[in-house]
Amino acid sequence: MEEQNKTEQATPFKLSEAKKRGQVAKSLDCNSLFIVAGLLIALVGWARQGCMQLAALCRQLFDVSGQLTLDAGNSPAMLSTLANASLGVLLPFAGIGIACTILANVLQTGPIFSFVPLQPKFERLNPAAGFKRLFNKKMLFEALKSVLKLIFFGTVAATFLRALWPALSTMAAEGAREQLQWLADNTVGLLFRLLLALLVVAILDLALTRWLFARQMRMSTREVKEEVKRREGDPLIRAKIRELQREALKQARSQRRVPEADVLITNPQHLAIALRYDRSRMNAPEIIAKGADAWAQQMRATAAKHGIPQFEHRRLARVLFRRGVLDRAIPTESFVDVAHIYASLAQRERAAGSYEYAT
């Protein structure tokens, strides 16, 4: 039931986390393809020289076989010579095999450095769990794949060898050099055909592996929502944060309009409301900026800098701050108090004086 509910594609975050744990879609047949191709190239380019080196080593050993004595004096030197000669032949093949293995993995999954697969898991020591792993659906599927691949490769090899069968009687009459050359040529031909067969298998296996991995990584709708919540936070909290950010942005924008105000009403330190009244286009004064605490102190400083009158009116400041809306007319219940303030402001202008009105 849980598997049926996983209908959503894996998110990039889940795939990234799985990659950190070493869980990726990797085809072993693709690795085999690169290794066999590299070894085949090495065999074609290096086999002749390697065989000549081995032949020269064997000839040297036969030449001195009558004088060789295995004792503590010359045994280490002789074994060292044999080891160095053998490594000189085998190392190119080993190096190419290792390089092809690394290249195949990097091309499939990209560079991965994870030690999670190497960490010991004590549940693997449980015999019952090990028995279940041997006979689960995945192991049976892999066994079926191996049988089908064996049949496919066997058919390709058998078809090639059947075509060579008539030539065996002819090669029996040839010399040793011609027989070895014929055997080498046909061995390369057989390996090349097996490589083409492996290419077909690798392409199919890669497509199947990626499909199965995508199926394994699928998520349910609930898991997608939980991941989004875990990465980005609760949607309600995010909405509240966005609301606060919009409010802060609006406050910042309104702060720049304080120099345009006719008057600043305060409470006296905690609240500040800036009013503007244009008789030609406004029916009543409008609130162009308001703020509390730090915003209010900043508004007071700006008003003082630009010579804007400040009136302390606690009750009116509370009404305007709570019920007033930016760029809207003041609430109706504040008309009388605001009218008194504008009347005082006009009287002060007429008297060319400066005082602070307080109630």
* Total domain count, the chain: 2
Q: Which residue has the higher pLDDT, 202 or 72?
A: 202
CATH number where 302 lies: 3.40.1690.10
Inside any domain, residue 100: yes
Inside any domain, residue 14: yes
* Range 169-188 average pLDDT: 76
Task: Give percent of the chain above pLDDT 70.
Answer: 82
Inside any domain, residue 311: yes
Inside any domain, residue 358: no
Q: Say yes or no: 321 and 210 in one domain.
A: no
* Range 141-146 average pLDDT: 84
DSSP three-state, residue 352: coil
Q: What residue numbers bound the domain in which 298 lies?
A: 254-351
Q: Say yes or no: 216 and 67 in one domain.
A: yes
Q: With bands split at pLDDT 50, 70 and 90, how would you rate the model's confidence at 358?
A: very low
Q: What is the tens place of the pLDDT at every residue in 84-139?
A: 777 777 787 788 888 888 888 888 887 776 666 666 665 556 666 555 666 667 77
Q: With bands split at pLDDT 50, 70 and 90, how would you rate the model's confidence at 155?
A: very high
Which phi-psi region, left, alpha or beta, contains residue 110 (left: φ > 0; alpha: ψ -120 to 50)?
left
Q: Which residue has the higher pLDDT, 186 or 233?
A: 186
Q: Say yes or no: 170 and 50 in one domain.
A: yes
Helix, strand, coil % in the chain, rounded to nearest 5: 70, 5, 20
Q: How many CB atoms lie within 10 A of CB 218?
A: 16
Q: Say yes or no: 19 and 127 in one domain.
A: yes
Q: What is the tens place of the pLDDT at every residue in 28-68?
A: 888 888 888 888 888 777 767 767 777 777 777 777 666 66
Q: Say yes or no: 15 and 162 in one domain.
A: yes
Lowest mean pLDDT among 111-115, 185-189, 194-198, 294-298: 111-115
Q: Say yes or no: 214 and 114 in one domain.
A: yes
Inside any domain, residue 240: no
Inside any domain, residue 357: no
Phi, psi of 286 (to 5 degrees): -115, 150
pLDDT at 170 over 80: no
Cα separation of 223 and 219, whole Å?
6
Q: Say yes or no: 310 and 218 in one domain.
A: no
Q: Say yes or no: 35 and 182 in one domain.
A: yes
Report the mean per-residue pLDDT for the chain: 79
Inside any domain, residue 327: yes
Q: Which of 285, 272, 259 is nearest to 311 (CA)?
A: 272
* Identity of the highest mean pLDDT range in 16-30, 123-137, 201-215: 201-215
220 Cβ partners below 8 Å, 6+ apart? 2, 5, 6, 7, 8
Inside any domain, residue 109: yes
Q: What separation in angstroms does the CA of 283 have from each of 171, 259, 311, 333, 334?
A: 114, 21, 22, 15, 14
pLDDT at 199 over 80: yes
Is the preceding omega at residue 268 within 30 degrees of 0, hence cis? yes
Q: Which residue has the higher pLDDT, 146 or 127?
A: 146
Q: Say yes or no: 78 and 6 in one domain.
A: yes
DSSP three-state, residue 266: strand
Q: Say yes or no: 114 and 205 in one domain.
A: yes
- pTM, entire model: 0.53
282 Cβ partners below 8 Å, 6+ apart? 329
* Range 152-176 average pLDDT: 82
DSSP three-state, residue 333: helix
Q: How many CB atoms lie within 10 A of CB 56?
A: 11
pLDDT at 200: 92
Q: Say yes or no: 221 and 265 in one domain.
A: no
Q: Say yes or no: 192 and 279 in one domain.
A: no
pLDDT at 356 over 60: no
pLDDT at 299 over 80: yes
Strand partners, 266: 272, 312
